[in-house]
Structure 1
Amino acid sequence: MNRDELYTIAENWFQENNWKPFTFQKDTWKAFLQGKNGLLNAPTGSGKTYALWFPIILNYIKANPRYKTNHKKGLKAVWITPLRALSEEIRQSAERVAADLGTQMTVGIRTGDTTTKERTSQKKQMPDLLITTPESLQLLLASKGYEKIFKDCTAIVVDEWHELLGTKRGVQMELALSRLKTISTALRIWGISATIGNLEQAREVLLGTDPEVLENSVLIKAKLNKKITVKSIIPKKMETFPWRGHLGLHLLEDIIPILSASKTTLLFTNTRSQCEIWFQKILENHPEFAGEIAMHHGSINKETRAWVEQAIRNANLKAVVCTSSLDLGVDFAPVETVIQIGGPKGVARFLQRAGRSGHQPGKESVIYFLPTHAMELIEASALQEAVKHTVVEDRIPYLNSYDVLLQYLTTLAISDGFYPDEIYAEVINTFCYQALSKEQWQWLLNFLVLGSQSLQTYDEYKKIEIEEDGKFKVNNRGIAMRHRFQIGTIVSDANLTVRYQKGGYIGSIEEFFVSKLSPGDIFTFAGRNLEFIRIKEMQVHVRNSSKKTNKIPSWMGGRLTFSAQMSELLREELYKASSPNSSKKGKLSAELISLKHIFDKQKEESIVPKPSEFLIETFKTRDGYHHIFYPFEGRFVHEAMGSLLGYRISLLSPITFSLAFNDYGFELLSDQEIDLQQVLDNNLFSTDFMLSDLQKSLNATEMARRKFRDIAVISGMVFTGYPNKGVKMKHLQSSSQLLFDVFRDYEADNLLFQQAFTETFEHQLEEGRLRLALERIAQQEIVWKACQKPTPFSFPIITDRLREKLSSEKLADRIKRMTALLTKK
């Protein structure tokens, strides 16, 4: 069958379903059938799944003319999804195409949710088309005879590649692909990605650095002009001194008409605790929504999540309060409206969420922005600009993740073993390890066979044996079993399951939250008030309670920061507000106009900085001397910059500071006044010696020590325990800290020890962004304003510091008194 005949089969199918294939779908079919690799850039809800299932199945038809009667069993394609929740939907699409085209192809799913029975039957006979996750793919590579499973595989599709890029799961994928390329000579590799800033680089990371593979690849962009409408919910009454902490609940009544007017609405919150509170409050104030509103976040049990997803598809729910657990690809045609509560901190995340509404080709997406405090309206205005000009973030890929490589090599060693020279040639063709030297490779091999230099006397670190022919192999069953349990790169705080005392699974919460509870304490979780009874074998036992509570589980993932693009857009919006003609109609967005009273009050005491200015404010209150800096670069950069400047100032005169920061700026608070002029004359913002000053200022060793825990777990140095018998987080912490201290004192050139520092600076402190921010400030005129009292811009920062000391009721009272003083005429 020639290519034209194959295209006709596909186009006829679309016709029968009253659809018309998009150009990007046809382009993908063509490139795939020509044997090319590629990256497809398409928005969710545009039919990207059919863009790749079709050519995979058509390719099988082409190779097997008697496909209707003579079916050749065996794995032909693997579809990787980062989220288990998406696998069912992908399976339905694949089965529909395979059945409608008259093939006898089978479709299977293999994720953490797959039953043992299903896995065993897959072992005997793999499905033709397999949907799996990065972790489950690694587990397949850890099974004996894996080469036989994959040898006839013709395609690997990595869905939602933008979600994996810039994470260690992405590195895991790079390594798996480097192996599969060797095993299956006919393999085509494809990625599907939503829009990111560095699409070309995303393709290179996916396909590796082999020039031949890259030359035979394409980047296909879906040119679908999807209309996105952003509407801000602007409060009728707005405070002049905004502060963080309202969760946006004062605008609850404003969203009720929106919920009533739409078929289904998704309300996105940034944290799981905020999700729990909003769900409770809507039901409290509007009991008529009972049975029509649900909640969805990653810690709620799988059955409940699946039920909610199905109820959205069936249009049985009026509203769902959710977190990023519904960000990705699940196809919900009935969703008409999305409400984003609080700043999403990044353009890509905002666009992704907007795309959940009007989730069909040609439909308009409508997203409402609900600010939790007045300053977030500047973010809303910046997001309007981002949507207009399609400004999206880059995803920065990892380099030299030695921990992931050690895990991968152990995986190969427990299946069929490996020959180092063969695997080294594959590994250095990946993007992540393109600069891996022979010496570093040898160090990693020694580490697996002997343990590191300083641990050679301990047998537990010697995992791999070298056989006579030079093959590296794990022969110890205990080591192999432990390794299989620990495959993966997502290391979070230990999760404990929450169950009723009489049985009944509710979900999971992190150990650090539970460790603060005493028996009898009431907390809200999964929409219920629960009384904490005890912890038993990694389980939290609870019972229902009718008592009220303000304890909501918080999760470590709740600390989001501005992306570089978001920071830049935000500064541009602020600069608009600073220009004298800004109040002229047409120049400013509705959001900025609504903040006029805040900008006016800010100008009374200080300034709204222009593009050429960098603002520093100082004033004294009963708490001490406040020194506030406004880089508008996001909280991670401000944490680093605040520590750096605090350290540099202390070199001039002995002085100690407490640091507070948010996405707009940071505060150095001390009990004595700084001579700011002397500080500025001493080149405070220089990038010279930045790295060494940062290391001294931030207790970088402590941060690297925390980072090392994850590295120790991923590389397999520390075992997290068997299922339901997990090792307590404090034990993990202490064993990884012990190793960290040993390496620091006796083996500072240990690659894993060094990796902890690299990751701390590059990924946590965003050292590159800090450097660029300092260079930008060095070009600006520094405007120092000695103010009599706090300004509207400084208010959210100084009140955030009080939050650490005061309960929420006391904090609200204190802020009320502060605001009354500041607004006195």
Structure 2
Amino acid sequence: MNQFADVWFHNQGWEPHTFQRKAWSAISKGHSGLLNAPTGFGKTFAIWFGVLAHYYEDKAYQKQKKRHRQTKLHAIWITPLRALSKEIYKATTKVSDDLDLDYTVELRTGDTTVAQRQKQRKKPPQALITTPESVHLLLASKEAVAFFSALEFIVVDEWHELLGSKRGVLVELALSRLKAINPRLKIWGISATIGNLGEAQEILLGKEHNGVMVKAALKKQIAIETVLPDSLEKFPWAGHLGIRLLDKVIALVRQYNSTLIFTNTRSQAEIWYQQIIMHYPEFAGILAIHHGSLSDEVRFWVEDALHEGRLKAVVCTSSLDLGVDFRPVDCVIQIGSPKGVARFLQRAGRSGHRPHETSYIYYVPTNSLEIIEGDSLKYAVKEQIIEQRIPYVRSFDVLIQYLMTLAVGDGFAANQIFEEVRGTHCFASVTRQEFDDCMAMLIHGGKTLHAYDDFHRLVLQDGIYRVESRKLAMRHRLSIGAIVSDAMMKVKFMSGKYLGSIEESFISKLNTGDVFWFSGRQLELLHVRNMEVVVRPTSKSKGVVPSWMGGRFSISPDLGVAIRHSFQAIQQTKRVSPEIEFLRPLFEEQARRSALPKTDELLVEYISTKYGYHLFVYPFDGKLVHEGMAQVLAYRLGKIKPATFSIASNEYGFELLSATDYPVDDNFIKDLLSPNHLHQDITSGINVQEMARRRFRDIAGIAGLVFQGFPGKGMKTKHLQANAGLFFSVFEDYDPTNLLLREAYDEVFDFQLEEGRMQLAFERIADHAIVLAFPKNLTPFSFPIFSESFREKYSNEDWQSRLELLKLQLEGKVE
């Protein structure tokens, strides 16, 4: 029984779910755990009422509370997004208001003012809703141990989102310290379904934990429909179809009260918003745009307007993926491949955001071949194929930052902290020597930087390591966090009104008077001053859309499995999905010109055209894996006969184009695609050093080797890169075993080249039969890959018309 929940649920006219009662019972018995339930079924209340009951009813806590002369912090609720923090704050505060409780809840995020933070330090509320970075900021303040001394609960919301990132490592480290401060601490995670839910629980709670797993036995009904074009393009290219389906998308938007239109990138969101307003001006005022680079003011307005039902539709990115509760939204539209099954399900859950309501999601392909992913997504959802979230391990940059955080706060004893961090999943394998190397970098700069005073950061006093320099302490507090990106420039009107931020690399390509689309507006660049871009609205018709570096990601391995399954169905003639049926003419054309791969077959095409000799391979493993595979093959071909290659790839395959003809046969291809000596060939054939140098910039920033700049006065990207590059070169030459240097190379292999996935792809291919075809010209499968390289050869105005002409020639419609 939970008297607070029973009263409140009764007043709402609701009946608690079984999983909510299970969670309340587990919390009342003092357990930690992980809660897994579908979106919209009340996960927040499943934990929150357990926390409230403990505060008012736990006898041991009541005794402790009486000993304190003032309010002590009872619970921390960690969320990955500020927008989600706001929603949790609204929901939990409403409970206290409705039940007239003296349990106060406050927000502490990047938006919290300095005055509010100081007040929270002196007189904390019962609960703080915050982010991983803000928890570390609290650890970096004096008397942090006393501040957290009575803490009973930590709740980590959307744990699956944090798990596969360095922000997840920040959470692991914070928990290791807070558990040591308060051994009674109860930890609860809230997670969507992921492929490694058990591992996620162990990482959160620690090895050999006694935590419970509370899983809701509730199935969310999801209706998935692919938006098909009126006619099929047998020779598609990327992006060719998306906007052509605009009328069909608007017809769907009109059907529902409110709709979220999800795109994968901020650039795509700006384009779709622009196109809708241009072709359907009646949507002005009832259509909005939402993505992470817009100002807080714009995003908060959109969220509130959605909540109140004042908007018909919002074009958005992953900024609205997570937990934010928009009750009016009853339809979701996904533009282009979602790249992952879990992301697709998360977005689908934004509609029908109430128990037992159906979630409606429409998938809009951006080229003809992408239509097949509609079938793949349905199969993955039906078979419950969900991605794992791969946790970071041995992230020494985050460890060095954390040690500095503790030193800036109350200070720390090295032996004690070594044992604490060894208890985390990320640093379980760290040796004492490696820990001491991290300490050495903070005490005297390690092997190579001891001559520079700026790297003499820690001082030992009475067995405790501290930071004495106020300047270093202030710099560190400004740098806490593990989110890295290109230097961001503020976009402002002449009046000073702030619109959002754009990456410096994009702005550096523009001249005064150039026009670009941002925040759903057409803006003319007036001038750039420091890190500010001053603009004014314009009616000039031609404008470019900003691109952000973060928008580039590949399909997940699990979606790759589902896509390969869909391609098995193209051989069938009965009981096929609408997507496969619609694509049948394209597959028939592919079979006529080349071949269709069956299960356990790999299609390879070798085509000679006026552009050169094209080798096309179709592993269906995602664009990033294909880029790495293509570079390995280029290296292997170059060893057989020296040649210059241009490489192109998409989610389904890749192309190697050269002027050199090779003696291609089955044995030649088998040898070329062998998994043997793969690591050696990756290292030799790809400029791993240059990739590691670029990766090192982020690592150096997190570890505090490179100061990123003060708020509003960030350092220019080229300066950051130059400074980080200098450290990289010094470590390469004089300290090749440096932990941060090794980490840069490890991250390149693991995350950029995805060596593990590449190895699996080569091994899988080794067991496949090779279907080698020699078409006389480009095929429906090869044309979209070829178009990727074609796009880069010609100017923006030229390539589409040239590509259209080539397509007509392939179809035999023109000479």
TM (normalized to structure 1)? Answer: 0.96
1:117 to 115, 118, 129: 115
Are 1:247 and 1:274, in contact at CA under 8 Å, matched by a contact in 2?
no
2:330 aligned counterpart, secondary structure:
strand
Equivalent AA in structure 1 for residue 540 of structure 2: K
Aligned position for 1:307 = 301
Aligned position for 1:258 = 252
Residue 648, structure 1, aligned to residue 642, structure 2? no
Alignment of 1:192-341 (within 5 A): 192-209=190-207, 211=208, 214=209, 216-246=210-240, 248-341=242-335
* Structure 1 residue 247, shift from structure 2 partner: 6.1
Equivalent AA in structure 1 for residue 640 of structure 2: L
* Structure 1 residue 812, shift from structure 2 partner: 1.0
Are 2:154 and 2:186, in contact at CA under 8 Å, matched by a contact in 1?
yes
1:532 to 498, 502, 525: 525
Residue 366, structure 1, aligned to residue 356, structure 2? no
Aligned position for 1:462 = 456
Aligned position for 2:50 = 55
Q: Within 2, Cα distance between the matches of 1:487 and 1:760? A: 23
2:233 aligned counterpart, secondary structure:
coil
Q: Within 2, Cα distance between the matches of 1:72 and 1:275? A: 49
Equivalent AA in structure 1 for residue 16 of structure 2: P
Aligned position for 1:503 = 496
Q: Within 2, Cα distance between the matches of 1:641 and 1:674? A: 18
Alignment of 1:444-455 (within 5 A): 444-455=438-449
Equivalent AA in structure 2 for residue 412 of structure 1: L
Q: Within 1, Cα distance between the matches of 2:588 and 2:634? A: 31
* Structure 1 residue 102, shift from structure 2 partner: 4.0
Aligned position for 2:87 = 89
1:595 aligned counterpart, secondary structure:
helix
* Structure 1 residue 13, shift from structure 2 partner: 2.1
* Structure 1 residue 450, shift from structure 2 partner: 1.3
Aligned position for 2:35 = 40
Residue 749, structure 1, aligned to residue 751, structure 2? no
Aligned position for 1:490 = 483
Q: Within 2, Cα distance between the matches of 1:460 and 1:191? A: 39
Aligned position for 2:764 = 776
Q: Within 2, Cα distance between the matches of 1:744 and 1:603? A: 52
TM (normalized to structure 2)? Answer: 0.97
1:530 aligned counterpart, secondary structure:
strand
Aligned pair in 2 of structure 1 residues 747, 678: CA closer, same or farther (>3 Å)?
A: farther
Q: Within 2, Cα distance between the matches of 1:741 and 1:9? A: 61
Aligned position for 2:555 = 562
* Structure 1 residue 583, shift from structure 2 partner: 2.0
1:299 aligned counterpart, secondary structure:
coil
Residue 431, structure 1, aligned to residue 429, structure 2? no
* Structure 1 residue 284, shift from structure 2 partner: 1.4
Deviations 1:135-179 (A, max 9, x none): 011000000000111110100000000110110000010000000
Equivalent AA in structure 2 for residue 527 of structure 1: G
1:668 aligned counterpart, secondary structure:
strand
Residue 135, structure 1, aligned to residue 126, structure 2? no
Aligned position for 1:660 = 648
Most deviating of 669-678 and 187-196: 669-678
Q: CA RMSD in A?
A: 1.5
Q: Within 2, Cα distance between the matches of 1:409 and 1:398? A: 18
1:759 to 740, 747, 751: 747
Equivalent AA in structure 1 for residue 792 of structure 2: E
Are 2:277 and 2:284, in contact at CA under 8 Å, matched by a contact in 1?
yes
Equivalent AA in structure 1 for residue 342 of structure 2: A
Equivalent AA in structure 2 for residue 771 of structure 1: Q
Aligned position for 1:155 = 153
Deviations 1:289-326 (A, max 9, x none): 12111111111111111111111111111111111111
2:224 aligned counterpart, secondary structure:
strand
Are 2:34 and 2:188, in contact at CA under 8 Å, matched by a contact in 1?
yes
Equivalent AA in structure 2 for residue 655 of structure 1: A
Are 1:529 and 1:549, in contact at CA under 8 Å, matched by a contact in 2?
no
Aligned position for 2:728 = 740
1:457 aligned counterpart, secondary structure:
coil
Are 2:352 and 2:359, in contact at CA under 8 Å, matched by a contact in 1?
yes
* Structure 1 residue 40, shift from structure 2 partner: 0.6
Deviations 1:593-649 (A, max 9, x none): 101111011001111101121111011222111101111000111111111111111
* Structure 1 residue 823, shift from structure 2 partner: 0.4
Are 2:4 and 2:49, in contact at CA under 8 Å, matched by a contact in 1?
no
Q: Within 2, Cα distance between the matches of 1:312 and 1:96? A: 19
Q: Within 1, Cα distance between the matches of 2:51 and 2:513? A: 57
1:329 aligned counterpart, secondary structure:
coil
Equivalent AA in structure 2 for residue 594 of structure 1: F
Equivalent AA in structure 2 for residue 295 of structure 1: I
Are 1:248 and 1:373, in contact at CA under 8 Å, matched by a contact in 2?
yes
1:716 to 688, 704, 714: 704
Deviations 1:62-107 (A, max 9, x none): 136989x999611000000100011121112212223344431111
Q: Within 1, Cα distance between the matches of 2:665 and 2:579? A: 36
Q: Within 2, Cα distance between the matches of 1:454 and 1:688? A: 38
Equivalent AA in structure 1 for residue 19 of structure 2: F
Q: Within 1, Cα distance between the matches of 2:513 and 2:372? A: 43
Q: Within 2, Cα distance between the matches of 1:374 and 1:293? A: 28
* Structure 1 residue 481, shift from structure 2 partner: 0.6
Are 2:522 and 2:543, in contact at CA under 8 Å, matched by a contact in 1?
no
Equivalent AA in structure 2 for residue 259 of structure 1: V
Deviations 1:793-817 (A, max 9, x none): 0011000011122233311111111
Deviations 1:354-413 (A, max 9, x none): 000000011000000111111111111100111212211000001100000000000000
Alignment of 1:372-387 (within 5 A): 372-387=366-381
Q: Within 2, Cα distance between the matches of 1:43 and 1:495? A: 35
Most deviating of 168-177 and 381-390: 381-390
Aligned position for 2:573 = 583
Q: Within 2, Cα distance between the matches of 1:601 and 1:353? A: 35
Residue 572, structure 1, aligned to residue 565, structure 2? yes
Q: Within 2, Cα distance between the matches of 1:546 and 1:92? A: 40
Aligned position for 2:342 = 348
Q: Within 2, Cα distance between the matches of 1:625 and 1:686? A: 22
Residue 731, structure 1, aligned to residue 719, structure 2? yes
Are 1:524 and 1:549, in contact at CA under 8 Å, matched by a contact in 2?
no
Q: Within 1, Cα distance between the matches of 2:346 and 2:419? A: 38
Deviations 1:750-789 (A, max 9, x none): 0100000101101111111111111110001111111100
Most deviating of 487-496 and 802-811: 802-811
Q: Within 2, Cα distance between the matches of 1:610 and 1:441? A: 52
* Structure 1 residue 682, shift from structure 2 partner: 6.8
Are 1:107 and 1:128, in contact at CA under 8 Å, matched by a contact in 2?
yes
Equivalent AA in structure 2 for residue 521 of structure 1: D
Q: Within 2, Cα distance between the matches of 1:804 and 1:195? A: 40
1:514 to 497, 507, 511: 507
Equivalent AA in structure 2 for residue 60 of structure 1: Y
Are 1:342 and 1:372, in contact at CA under 8 Å, matched by a contact in 2?
yes
Equivalent AA in structure 1 for residue 189 of structure 2: G
Residue 818, structure 1, aligned to residue 806, structure 2? yes
Q: Within 1, Cα distance between the matches of 2:217 and 2:384? A: 13
1:798 to 764, 767, 786: 786
Equivalent AA in structure 2 for residue 516 of structure 1: K
Are 1:268 and 1:340, in contact at CA under 8 Å, matched by a contact in 2?
yes
Give the unaligned 5+ runs of structure 1. Answer: none
1:608 aligned counterpart, secondary structure:
coil
Q: Within 1, Cα distance between the matches of 2:543 and 2:680? A: 43
Aligned pair in 2 of structure 1 residues 265, 595: CA closer, same or farther (>3 Å)?
A: same
Percent identity between matched residues is: 49
Q: Within 2, Cα distance between the matches of 1:179 and 1:101? A: 34
Are 2:38 and 2:219, in contact at CA under 8 Å, matched by a contact in 1?
no
